[in-house]
Amino acid sequence: MTEAELCLYVDDQLASPYAMSVFVALTEKNVPFDMRRLDLEAEAQHAPDFAALSLTRRVPALVHAGFALSESTAIAEYLDEVFPGTPLYPQAARERARARQVQAWLRSDLMPIREERSTMVVFYGQVAPPLSAMAQAAVRKLYAAADALLAPGATTLFAEWSLADVDLALMLNRLQLNGDPVPERLAHYARRQWLRPSVQQWVQLPRTSRSAPADA
């Protein structure tokens, strides 16, 4: 593998929001990369060859010139430091910190939404039943935070696009694409983000439906 070559390992269903985030990051950087799909249901992530690459045995994982890295935010920050092209994070320290906060929050909280509106809704068109009371509380928390983060009329979290926009739009689209009520300002933001070419490249990848992935 030469310095310009990268390989991204993703889930076979192409349903992981974290794999999507790294795919978009690589596409925005306009660097060539191969993509390999792992069948997580068959526990391919525990196979010796992959386990030797990924310390956490999770996807996404990126291999660049013999250097292997897993965990999506770590990968994105690495790509932003190593490659030119579209910045993935704001340049101002406080805005960059806020973008990382948003990503960390979306990955560690709002579990009822993730459980009841899995990415099978987003990428496979499945329709989920009405939200539980716990999920509705999480939705209210999501909407309040998103409303506070987005300036009036804004279509990005900051003056310029960042990878945090992809992650927030995906969380909102778990609800919007299921037909759940989403405040129009937030729905408009999510629709605009979904039309970004790098996002659409991931959305349009061919998929074969199975069951929902873990922590979707």
- The domain spans of the chain are 6-87, 93-196
pLDDT in tens, the chain (216 residues): 344 489 999 999 999 999 999 999 999 999 999 999 998 888 878 888 888 888 888 899 999 998 999 999 999 999 999 999 999 999 999 999 999 999 999 999 999 999 999 999 999 999 999 999 999 999 999 999 999 999 998 999 999 999 999 999 999 999 999 999 999 999 999 999 999 999 999 999 999 866 555 555
Confirm whether 6-87 and 93-196 share one CATH topology.
no
Q: What tokens were used for 206?
A: 């061919």
How far apart CA 187 and CA 191 sit, in angstroms, is 6
Q: What tokens were used for 155?
A: 């279509």
Which CATH class for the 93-196 domain? mainly alpha
CA angle at 178 for the pair 105 and 159, rounded to the nearest 5°: 45
Amino acid at site 109? D
Q: What tokens were used for 55?
A: 């310390």
Amino acid at site 146? A
How far from the centroid of its chain's Cα atoms is residue 166's Cα? 6
Predicted pLDDT at 1: 38
How far apart CA 69 and CA 79 sit, in angstroms, is 11
Predicted pLDDT at 13: 93
Predicted pLDDT at 204: 96
How far apart CA 54 and CA 185 sit, in angstroms, is 40
Listed in sequence order, the residues at least 6 apart from 204 whose beta carbon sits closer than 8 Å to its beta carbon are none
How far apart CA 128 and CA 114 sit, in angstroms, is 12
Q: Does domain 6-87 have CATH number 1.20.120.1750?
A: no
DSSP letter at 44 equals G
